[in-house]
Amino acid sequence: MEEALQGPDPMEFRPWRFVGKGKGASKVGTDFLQFGMGKRACPGRFMATHDLKAFVCLILSRFSKIEIEDPSKTGAALCNRVSTPTVTGLFFTSHH
């Protein structure tokens, strides 16, 4: 969460933070430690990023409209633990 590594506002959700930095999603380094570093880096990081991309494609192909009721709740949900449920106000509308 250091500004020197993450840029300004490290606690703020900014999905485009690393766009144009020339670094792939599965690259390891001190600025992104979720997959570890060095020889202990997660060998499944390539599959994990591929699965996330496939999941996003599936969601986008199955739903015609995705709305956020209150964007302020979404940031809290993203910073929250996975095991703690948070109401995000996310609504999905099907093609049918």
Q: DSSP letter at 22?
A: S
Average predicted confidence (pLDDT) for the chain = 77
Report, as an integer, the average pLDDT of 33-54. Answer: 86
pLDDT recorded at residue 16: 77
Q: Is 57 annotated as a binding residue?
A: no
- Which tokens go with 62? 């199955």
Torsions phi, psi for 39 (to 5 deg): -75, -10
pLDDT recorded at residue 87: 67
Predicted model pTM: 0.56
Higher-confidence residue of 9 and 58: namely: 58
pLDDT recorded at residue 55: 92
59: CB partners within 8 A, 6+ apart: 66, 92
Report, as an integer, the average pLDDT of 18-22. Answer: 77
Rg (CA), the chain: 16
